[in-house]
Amino acid sequence: MEKTIIKGTGRYLPPRLVTNDTLTQWMDTSSDWILQRTGIEQRYWVPEQGGVGSSDLGFEAAKIAMERSGWKADDIDLIIFATLSPDLFFPGSGCLLAHKLGLTSTPALDIRQQCTGFLYGMTTADAYIRSGLAKRILLVGAEVHSTGLDISTRGRDVAVIFGDGAAAVCLERMETDDKAGILAACMHADGSLAESLMTFAPASRENPRLDAKMLAEGRHFPTMDGKNIFKNAVRRLPEVAGEVLKKTGMPLEAVDLFIPHQANLRINQAFAKAMDIPESKIYNNIQRYGNTTAASIPLALDEAIEKGVVGAGSTVMFLGLGAGVTWGAVLYRFGV
């Protein structure tokens, strides 16, 4: 039977370290205030002068993942690039990444599922692989949030949360009868909650898409109804975790590690409590990186593999909720 397996992973963080104390020079906040509400201690941002886009970060992560997988660029049948912060309004960052890899005809697909970008990307890749349309797929999640944040007291509730970064996963078709690879997935969306987490402008439904009034009002910066997002996350994540387990018939105890999207440490702790999962089985690194959106789950996965937290025979659940709102879970088992 054809299965989708993870051949290799890689991550890349820009070198500019921004601690909670660093943020106090731009806004009325404190490290304790940020830590209490989010669990975040620091994050990494691209250089302040700009010139670095999501495809640049993705390129660095992709090179590491490809080297670990033994892939050359020509081995890639499809690039799936997940980001809410593309280098340009259009074209997509996947095409820019392909060019950086030296590719001239490999298809590239950008997806805009924000915090669930990796989950949607994995399920899309799985469909391509199982249908025979591709054998090797490079899945990248990359974000440059820092250049789009309101780094002031007005925008502090959102600005303190986000970090820049990228992670890549090489997905490959494998013929096996073992219970390995992507075992099951469940994806959902509810657009009625779109305004709970959004960036309004530039907006194609407006003419002009961005004007002086929108700039003055800060409508080109992200806004969030934190309480509503938190409430939905702590309800939806246990639901979708149970749903994906039901698809496979596996008990909760069979999952060795849960890797949730790193949106807020308090959300992940609430999920663990609701599911009665020991916190040792929940992988969190938001403390060091902040919320890197589409990059957060694969970044955590790469770390977990590097540290030996997961490996041959491990069963892992990836799950998250984010803007859209969208939410989902993917159950994956490493081969022995």
- Catalytically annotated residue among 20, 170, 261, 264: 261
Give the pLDDT score at 275. 97
Residue 268's identity, in one-letter code, is: N
22-45 tens-digit pLDDT = 999 999 999 999 999 999 999 999
pLDDT at 179: 87
Residues 317-322, mean pLDDT to the nearest whole number: 98
Q: Which tens digits make up the pLDDT trace of 173-197?
A: 998 888 899 999 999 999 999 999 9
**Are both 156 and 195 inside the same structural domain?**
no
In a shared domain, residues 243 and 190: yes
Asked whether residue 302 falls in the same domain as residue 197, the answer is: yes
Does the annotation count 268 as an active-site position?
A: no
Active site residue 115: yes
- Which residue is catalytic, options 115, 170, 232, 268? 115
Express each pLDDT in 129-156 by its tens digit. Answer: 999 999 999 999 999 999 999 999 999 9
- Both 156 and 170 in one domain: the answer is yes
Instruction: List pLDDT tens digits, range 104-128.
Output: 999 999 999 999 999 999 999 999 9
Which residues sit opposite 9 in a β-bridge? Answer: 169
Pair 161, 247 in one domain? no
Per-residue pLDDT at 307 = 97
Mean pLDDT value across residues 270-285: 96
Q: 98, 59 in Cβ contact below 8 A?
A: no
User: Looking at the structure, do residues 165 and 202 belong to the same domain, yes or no?
Assistant: no
145 and 218 co-located in one domain: no
In this prediction, residue 178 carries a pLDDT of 82
CATH assignment at residue 310: 3.40.47.10
**Same domain (yes/no): 234, 124:** no
Q: What is the pLDDT of residue 336?
A: 79
- Please tell me the predicted confidence (pLDDT) of residue 175: 87
The fraction of the chain above a pLDDT of 70, given in percent, is: 100
Are 262 and 144 in the same domain? no
pLDDT averaged over every residue in the chain: 97
- Total structural domains in the chain? 2
271 in the same domain as 224: yes
Question: Where is the domain boundary, 135, 152, 175?
Answer: 175
Q: Is 264 a catalytic residue?
A: no
Domain boundary among 175, 209, 231: 175
Both 209 and 130 in a single domain? no
Q: What is the pLDDT of residue 1?
A: 82
Domain range for 97: 2-175
Task: For residues 190 and 161, state if they share a domain.
Answer: no
